[in-house]
Structure 1
Amino acid sequence: MTFLAIAGIVAGIMFGIGAIAAVTRIIRGPTILDRALATDVLLAIAICALGAEMAINRHTDTLVVMLVLAMFAIVGSISIARFMSKQDAS
């Protein structure tokens, strides 16, 4: 087994643990801001996992998927921030 394969397995386990922790916070989060932050973390983990997979397999096929996930993360964060600011004003 090569070093790259071992590094991929270790990275996959770490990304999996992080994703489980983020999903747990999404489910149990007491406020909407906790859930929004956990969603951003989950999207960041997915983007990093795709980037690691691209580096290990030496291709750029999923670069578009990474960019779309990043766009969803930004738009989602902005929309939740605007929603919460309007809710605080009333």
Structure 2
Amino acid sequence: MIEIALTIALGCVALALVLNLWSLLKGPTAPDRILALDTMVINAIALIVLFGIHADTSVFFEAALLMAMVGFVSTVAYTKFLLRGDIVE
């Protein structure tokens, strides 16, 4: 039963990732694209976690944690660059 749920969840998250890619490419403004990129990172983290559950190993959870930290820092950097034009003050 868990295999069916994991397959459905992987399909839904993959579909959300494709729709976020569409939003990233089509976004009318830069803040919309930054938001789409941040949402793509969250969906990628969800894919990693679901694959970790499927593979029954904890290595993927550590990778998801690292990706979450890198995604947060990159979102902050993109936003700061958009607002000020410079990342390092």
Which of 1, 12, 15 is residue 14 of structure 1 equivalent to? 12
Larger Rg: 1
In 1, Cα distance between the equivalents of 2:32 and 2:17? 15
Task: Map 1:42-81; keep pairs closer than 5 Å.
Answer: 42-81=40-79
Provide the identity percentage. 21
The runs of 4+ residues in structure 1 deviating greater than 6 Å are none
Provide, for residues 51-88 of structure 1, a one-character-per-residue CA deviation record: whole Å limited to 9, x for no partner.
Answer: 1121233211223321221122111111122112215x
Q: Which residue of 1 aligns with 2:28?
A: 30
TM-score, length basis structure 1 = 0.84
Structure 1 regions of 5+ residues with no counterpart? Answer: none
- Report how many residues are paired: 85
Q: In the aligned structure 1, how far is the partner of 2:69 from the partner of 2:45?
A: 11
Name the amino acid aligned to 1:21.
L
DSSP 3-state at the match of 2:59: coil
Give secondary structure in 2 for the equivalent of 1:59: coil
Q: Indicate the SS of the match to 2:21.
A: helix
**What is the one-letter code of the residue matched to 1:62?**
F
- The reply to whether residue 83 of structure 1 matches residue 81 of structure 2 is yes
Unaligned 5+ residue runs, structure 2?
A: none
